[in-house]
Amino acid sequence: MRSRADAPPAWLWVRALALRGESLALDAEASHHVARVWRAREEQALVLTDGLGGVAHAIVESLRPGVVVRVESVEQRAAPRPLVVWCGAPEGDRGDWLVEKLAELGVTRLIPIDTSRASWRAAPTRLARWERLTRAALEQSRGAFRLAVSAPCSLESALASLPEGAARWLADPEGRVAELGAGVPLAGVVVAVGPAPGFDSDERSSLLARGFMAMSLGRSRLRAETAAMVAAALVRAVEPEAS
């Protein structure tokens, strides 16, 4: 078993990074995690990220009354190509699982889509919980780019803001096998996944008319949250390494 001394430095999201050589006072929530949850000691190494590509290696200077760290180095990592997932409402409370897993996979943005057959229950408390989940997933996966979660919107609103040049996938068990033979476009990929009952015929027609390609994600019929995760994993697996 790996000893505590051999473990990699803990990974922590912060709202903004300090410059090299500067001290940074962590907010109350981050201080609690460092001092109480992780039980860090003075001079212990940490890695900080702002979730926007900035990554800093830091050392704990003091633990009380709040944690203060000293930044040793800062780098800006190259962003992966945009990966946006539109997803209809899954059954029950599986939306939380969806947010967590897409954040771990490095999805750029999740746009919850309200459809004729299912709507998201996105109360302010749930949106706040999603924010906490994206933070925890970023730290667990040791990522540098945090998932952004939009407020739920209609399919029409999402179609009105489609990025130009992005590949467009419609998760569909009757579609052709999903592939990115030419690689991930610079403009990225938009994946549309229907709610638990699926898109209705008009919604599906609207997506196809806007250039979405019906793509099968396997031999089985997948739940909405599973289809979104599989599509995201496929895209990130074939994407060239950011440089």
Q: What is the pLDDT of residue 176?
A: 78
Same domain assignment for residues 90 and 184: yes
Last residue of a domain, one of 20, 42, 76: 76
Last residue of a domain, one of 51, 76, 101: 76
Lowest-confidence segment of 47-61, 106-120, 153-167, 184-198 by average pLDDT = 184-198
Cα atoms found within 13 Å of the Cα of residue 190, Cβ hemisphere only: 20
d(CA 155, CA 171): 15
Q: Domain count for the chain, please give it.
A: 2
- List the domain range (segments joined by +) for residue 19: 4-76
Same domain assignment for residues 100 and 187: yes
User: pLDDT tens, 18-75?
Assistant: 999 999 999 999 999 899 888 999 999 999 999 999 999 999 999 989 999 999 999 9
Same domain assignment for residues 91 and 201: yes
d(CA 113, CA 93): 16
Same domain assignment for residues 165 and 90: yes
Q: pTM higher than 0.75 for the full model?
A: yes
Same domain assignment for residues 16 and 50: yes
Same domain assignment for residues 117 and 189: yes
Q: What is the pLDDT of residue 2?
A: 47
As a whole number, mean pLDDT of residues 135-156 equals 96
Residue 243 lies inside a defined structural domain of this protein? no
SS3 237: helix
SS3 231: helix
User: pLDDT tens, 91-127?
Assistant: 888 999 999 999 999 999 999 999 999 999 877 888 9
Residue 155 lies inside a defined structural domain of this protein? yes
Q: What is the pLDDT of residue 239?
A: 73
Q: Is the pLDDT of residue 179 over 70?
A: no
**CATH number of the CATH domain containing 188:** 3.40.1280.10
